[in-house]
Amino acid sequence: MLSCHVSLAEKYDYLAEKFKAGYKWLANTDIKALADGKYTIIEGDVIADVQSYTTEPADKRRFETHDKFFDIQYMAEGREYFGVCAREGLKLNDSHPDRDVDFYDDPEFPGMVLLNEGDLIVVAPEDAHKPRCAAGTPAKVRKVVIKVRV
């Protein structure tokens, strides 16, 4: 899935070597057998973070962005709503440059994508996203967030 302003359509190559390495890792790895934690795919450029958590109501979550990395967010088990919107125009409310994450107030009209088991979404630095939102009742999920250096 690619959703962006037309001015960004050719800015990034979502099939570049780093992205392909992430997609290949997802396809060839038994994620359910892995412990939660970080796994290097390409040293310094592509890292997988395997996570297990319980989703929360969307009003308990915040939109976030990253400057140095894309996220490939892959739902290994379970499902969640995933908020999406453009970063431009959002009101910053918390910044952690040491962790490459900024948090924002909700926009007036955010979008939501339902991620079911086996789905992934790629978000660029220009995209704000609100992960871990409950699709109905809060539920346990297992997800992989692959960080791809810009």
Q: Which residue has the higher pLDDT, 145 or 7?
A: 145
Residue 128, domain member (yes or no) = yes
Residue 28, domain member (yes or no) = yes
pLDDT-derived band at 43, boundaries 50, 70, 90 = very high
Residue 7 has pLDDT above 90, yes or no: no
Residue 1, domain member (yes or no) = no
pLDDT tens per residue, range 22-33? 999 999 999 989
Indicate which CATH number applies to the domain containing 71.
Answer: 2.60.120.370
Count: domains in the chain: 1
pLDDT-derived band at 4, boundaries 50, 70, 90 = low
Residue 5 has pLDDT above 70, yes or no: no
Residues in contact with 18: Cβ distance below 8 Å, sequence separation at least 6, in sequence order? 42, 45, 46, 148, 149
Residue 124 has pLDDT above 60, yes or no: yes
- Give strand pairing partners of 112: 83
pLDDT-derived band at 101, boundaries 50, 70, 90 = very high
**Domain span at residue 24?**
6-149
Report the distance separating Cα 50 and Cα 34, nearest Å.
8
